[in-house]
Amino acid sequence: AQSVTQPDIHITVSEGASLELRCNYSYGATPYLFWYVQSPGQGLQLLLKYFSGDTLVQGIKGFEAEFKRSQSSFNLRKPSVHWSDAAEYFCAVGDPGGYQKVTFGTGTKLQVIP
Amino acid sequence: DSGVTQTPKHLITATGQRVTLRCSPRSGDLSVYWYQQSLDQGLQFLIQYYNGEERAKGNILERFSAQQFPDLHSELNLSSLELGDSALYFCASSAGTGGRDTQYFGPGTRLTVL
Q: DSSP string covering B10-22, please?
A: EEEE-TT--EEEE
CB within 8 Å: B92 and A99: yes
8 Å CB contact between B37 and B109 = no
Encode chain B (114 residues) as per-residue pLDDT tens digits.
Answer: 889 999 999 999 999 999 999 999 999 999 999 999 999 899 999 999 999 999 999 989 999 999 999 999 999 999 999 999 999 999 999 998 877 788 999 999 999 999
CB within 8 Å: B107 and A42: yes
The mean pLDDT of A80-109, rounded to a whole number, is 91
- Return the residue of B nearest to A106 by Cα: B42
Q: Look up residue A16 and give its DSSP letter.
A: T
Q: Which of A36, A99, A108 to mutate to test the interface with B (most CBs of B within 10 A)?
A: A99
8 Å CB contact between B1 and A43 = no
8 Å CB contact between B11 and B111 = yes
Q: Look up residue A61 and give its DSSP letter.
A: G
Size of interface A-B (CB pairs under 8 A): 61
CA B51, B99, B55: angle at the middle one, nearest 5? 35
Q: How far is CA A29 from CA A2, A25, A70, A76, B44, in A?
A: 10, 11, 12, 21, 21
Residue B58 to residue A52: CA distance in whole angstroms: 24
Residue B99 to residue B88: CA distance in whole angstroms: 24
Task: For residue A112, give the 3-state DSSP assignment.
Answer: strand
Beta bridge partners of A76: A21, A65
> What is the tens place of the pLDDT at every residue in A36-69?
999 987 789 999 999 888 899 999 999 999 999 9
> What is the tens place of the pLDDT at every residue in A6-32?
999 999 999 999 999 999 999 877 889
Kindly state the percentage of chain A with pLDDT values over 70: 100
CB within 8 Å: B106 and A98: no
Which residues of A have a CB under 8 Å from any CB of B? 32, 42-46, 49, 51, 90, 92, 94, 96-104, 106-107
| Partners of residue A102 in chain B, C-beta under 8 Å | 45
CB within 8 Å: A43 and B105: yes
8 Å CB contact between B73 and B8 = no
What per-residue confidence (pLDDT) applies to A94?
A: 87
8 Å CB contact between A91 and A6 = yes
Nearest to A51 among B31, B45, B99 (CB): B99
| Partners of residue B3 in chain A, C-beta under 8 Å | none
